[in-house]
């Protein structure tokens, strides 16, 4: 079952179980996916094409990052109930994302990408990051990976 089908099935289950928090988050996911499909369609002269799982994972990752930033802002502003709501949405979103690599796995992935590309200097950082993003989409926080790659190549 593809990611899109899993989201739709969970949406139906949430409706049946009257789980309003989960339902609203799943509706936000569907809206973001449909927005991306519309944007993609307009770029391809009206061709009706769906998104593949990697594109949906990218959307979900972006949504998680947005909610993390919002939760931080709410905490700083003393709005703990809103921060908690954002965290609840993050938990639901992360349920559809692949498992995050731990530190040891991340280090191994970076080392293998550097070896695969034959990267020897900081100039090769873009190639290494591109390879990692292709192979490990949704499994790494690339904002944290970038400095690690730079350190190894620098």
| Distance set, CA 49 to CA 2, 28, 44 (Å) | 15, 20, 9
- Tell me the average pLDDT across 41-46: 65
Measured in whole angstroms, the distance separating CA 137 from the mean position of its chain's CA atoms is 7
44-45-47-53 Cα dihedral, nearest 10 degrees: 20
What is the model's pLDDT at position 144? 84
pLDDT higher than 80, residue 115: yes
The pLDDT confidence band at residue 27, using thresholds 50, 70 and 90, is very high
Structure-block tokens of residue 55: 């594109």
Task: State yes or no: pLDDT of 116 exceeds 60.
Answer: yes
Q: Taking the CA atoms of 36, 38, 40 and 42 in sequence, report the sign of the dihedral they define.
A: negative
Cα–Cα distance measured from residue 62 to residue 49, given in angstroms and rounded to the nearest whole number: 21
| pLDDT of 76 higher than 80 | yes
> How far apart (Å, rounded) are the C-alpha atoms in residues 105 and 66?
25
For residue 106, give both structure tokens. 């991340």
More confident residue, 45 or 104: 104
Looking at every residue in the chain, the average pLDDT score rounds to 89
> What does the pLDDT read at residue 53?
85
CA distance 97 to 65: 13
What confidence category does residue 42 fall into, taking pLDDT thresholds of 50, 70 and 90? confident
What is the predicted pLDDT for the residue at 44?
58
Give per-residue pLDDT as tens, 118-140.
Answer: 988 899 999 999 999 888 877 88
Note the pLDDT of residue 143. 82
**Between these two residues, 43 and 64, which has the higher pLDDT value?**
64
Task: Collect all residues with Cβ–Cβ distance below 8 Å to 26 and sequence separation of at least 6.
Answer: 7, 10, 11, 14, 92
Q: Would you say 97 and 61 are in contact if contact means Cβ atoms under 8 Å apart?
A: yes
What the chain holds in terms of domains, given with CATH numbers, is 3-94 (1.10.1510.10), 103-153 (1.10.10.410)
Confidence of residue 98 (pLDDT cuts 50, 70, 90): confident
């Amino acid at each position: 079952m593809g990611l899109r089908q899993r989201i739709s099935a969970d949406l139906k289950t949430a409706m049946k179980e009257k789980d309003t928090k989960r339902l609203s988050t799943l509706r936000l996911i569907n809206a973001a996916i449909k927005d991306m499909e519309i944007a993609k369609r307009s770029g391809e002269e009206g061709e009706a094409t769906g998104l593949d799982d990697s594109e949906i994972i990218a959307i979900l990752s972006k949504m998680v990052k947005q909610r993390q930033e919002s939760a931080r802002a709410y905490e700083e502003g003393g709005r703990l109930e809103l921060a908690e709501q954002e965290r609840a949405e993050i938990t639901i979103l992360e349920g559809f994302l692949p498992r995050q690599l731990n530190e040891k796995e991340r280090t191994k992935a970076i080392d293998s990408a550097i070896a695969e590309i034959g990267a020897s200097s900081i100039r090769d950082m873009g190639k290494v990051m591109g390879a990692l993003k292709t192979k490990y989409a949704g499994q790494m926080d690339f904002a944290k990976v970038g400095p690690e790659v730079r350190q190894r190549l620098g």
